Amino acid sequence: MPLYTEPLNNVESLWAWNESMVDLKLVGKELKGNIRRTGTMETLVCHDMAGGYLPEECLNGCILKDSAKPYIMMHWWYMDIFTYFSHNFVTIPPTGWINQAHNHDVIILGTFITEWKGGRKLCEQFLSTEETMQRTVKQLVRIAKFHHFDGWLINIENKIEDKYLPTFRTFLLLLTSTMRSEIGSNSRIIWYDAVTVHGKLNWQNELNEKNNEWFNITDGIFLNYSWKLEQLSKTRQLAGERNHQVYVGIDCFGRGCYVAIFAPGWVIEQFPPSSHLLNSIRFWERLAGLVYPHKIRSLPIQTNFSIGFNITDSNDRFYNLSAAQLQPFYFESNIMPGNMQPCIVAPSAGDYK
C-alpha cells in the first residue's frame, strides 16, 4: 500500500491533527547536532514543483510512467536550508525529502501559506482569539517535531485586518520561540516578504520599515524577487548584524546577503525529459563559485551514491526518493557528465566506507 505524506488544507484539519493519524514509517530522520555556520553566507532552496506531493515522492517509490519527471537533487552540499513548498495551507515535507536533507546536514522547512480571499478567511479563523492563535502555534510545532523537520516558511499573501495584527504579531513571536524551545538551535521560522506590518499585501523586495518588524521577531526574511541593487544595499544597512538572516529571492522562472533560490525544478518542468540530469548539473554548476558549500560533519559514512533510480524485474523504471543516499560533492564538470569529478569533502584524512 502506498504511503504518502499529506498536506492540511483548512484550520479544522490542522487543529484536529494528532500523531495517531500518521503511519510511523512517515516519520523522517532527525537532524543531529547544531549545524549553524558562522561567518559564511547561507543558501536557501525553495522547492515548488507541479503543485507538490507528486507520485514519485511516495515513501514506497513508484514505477515511472513516460510522463513522470522526478526532480533529482544531487547538489545538497551547495545549500543550507531546503523548503518544501506547495499552495496547500499547511505543507508537510514528504519523508524522502526530510531524510535526504538531514543526511546532508541541511535544514528542512515546511510551508504555512494563506492566499487571496480564501487565505483571508483562514487568517480570520486562526487569529480570531488568543486561544485559536495559540492552538495553531501548538499544532504547527507538534507537526514539525513529530515528522522531524526543522521549521516553517511563513507565506501570508492576503490582507490581514487591522484588528488581527496584534494577534498575528504574537503568533510569529510565539511560533518562533516555541519552535526554538522544542526543536532546538536548528529551528527556523522564515518570513516571506509579502504582507506589510500594516496588514497590506504589498511585496517590498527589500527590508524596510514596512516589513522590518516581521524580520525582527522571526529567524529571517525571504525577500521577494523583483529587487534592484540599490534595494539590496538599503537592506544590508538596515539589517545590520543580522544581514546574514536576509535571504534574497531568485526565481528560477525569471520573474524578476543570503540567497533564496525558488523553484529549481524549473529545469524539469521547462525542458525535455532526456536532458533532466544534464540540465540540473548545468544549473548548479553555474552557482558553484557563488555559494558556500558545507562539509560532512561526522564520520563514518556509508553510501553507494544512489539517486533513487532502479529497474524492476519487468524492466520498468522505478524511482524511490527515500532510497537515495549520500551524494558526492560535484566540482566543475565542463557541463559534460563524462568529465564530472564527484567527490566527498571530508573533515580529515582517513579511510571511509
List, for residues 120-174, the tens digit of each pLDDT value. Answer: 999 999 999 999 999 999 999 999 999 999 999 999 999 999 999 999 999 999 9
In the 8-state DSSP scheme, what is residue 196? -
| Distance from the first to the final alpha carbon of the chain | 34
Q: Is residue 6 part of a domain?
A: no
Whether pTM > 0.75 for this model: the answer is yes
Range among 63-77, 87-101, 297-311, 316-330 with highest mean pLDDT value: 87-101
What is the per-residue pLDDT for 345?
A: 45
Reduced to 3 states (helix: H, G, I; strand: E, B; else coil), residue 47 is strand
Q: Which of 242, 172, 177, 183 is nearest to 207 (CA)?
A: 242
For the chain, how many structural domains are there in total?
1
Does residue 269 register a pLDDT over 50?
yes
Is 249 inside a domain boundary? Answer: yes
pLDDT tops 80 at residue 10: yes
Tell which residue, 27, 34, 48, has the closest CA to residue 80.
Answer: 34
Is 302 buried (19+), middle (13-18) or exposed (0-12) by CB count in 10 A? exposed
Distance CA 260, CA 304 (A): 30
> Is position 92 within any domain?
yes
Q: Where are the beta strands (DSSP E) in the chain?
A: 43-47, 62-63, 81-84, 90-91, 107-115, 151-157, 188-192, 220-223, 246-251, 258-262, 309-311, 317-319, 329-330, 342-343
Q: What is the DSSP letter of 248?
A: E
d(CA 197, CA 68): 42
- Model confidence at 338, pLDDT cuts 50, 70, 90, reads very low
Q: Is the pLDDT of residue 349 over 90?
A: no
Tell me how crowded residue 297 is: count the other CB atoms within 10 A of its CB: 12
Residue 61 belongs to domain spanning? 11-295
- Kindly state the percentage of the chain with pLDDT values over 70: 81
pLDDT the model gives residue 311: 81
Residue 340: the pLDDT is 46
CA-based radius of gyration for the chain:
20
Give me the mean pLDDT over the 13-31 stretch: 97
Which residue type sits at 293?
A: P
Tell me how far apart the alpha carbons of residues 323 and 4 are, in angstroms, rounded to a whole number: 15
What was the pLDDT predicted at 335? 45
Strand-pairing partners, residue 192, are 222
Alpha-carbon distance 180 to 239, whole Å?
21
Mean pLDDT of 181-188: 96
Q: Give the closest residue to 36 by CA, choosing from 166, 256, 183, 214.
A: 183
Residue 288 contacts residue 78 (beta carbons within 8 Å): yes
3-state secondary structure (DSSP) of residue 120: helix
User: Are the C-beta atoms of 155 and 194 separated by less than 8 Å?
Assistant: yes
CATH code of the domain covering residue 262: 3.20.20.80
Contact between 293 and 282 under an 8 Å Cβ cutoff? The reply is no
Across the chain, mean pLDDT equals: 85
Q: Would you place residue 285 in the very low, low, confident or very high pLDDT band (cuts 50, 70, 90)? A: confident
Confidence of residue 56 (pLDDT cuts 50, 70, 90): confident
CA–CA gap between residue 267 and residue 242 (Å, rounded):
32
Task: Provide the pLDDT confidence category of residue 203 given band limits of 50, 70 and 90.
Answer: very high
Residue at 253: amino acid letter: F
Handedness of CA 52, 58, 61, 66 (dihedral sign): negative
Q: Which pLDDT score, from 0 to 100, does residue 188 have?
A: 98
The number of residues in the chain equals 353
Looking at per-residue pLDDT, the higher value among 47 and 84 belongs to 84
Report yes or no on 250 lying in a domain: yes
Evaluate whether residue 332 is within a structural domain. no
C-alpha cell at 158: 492576503
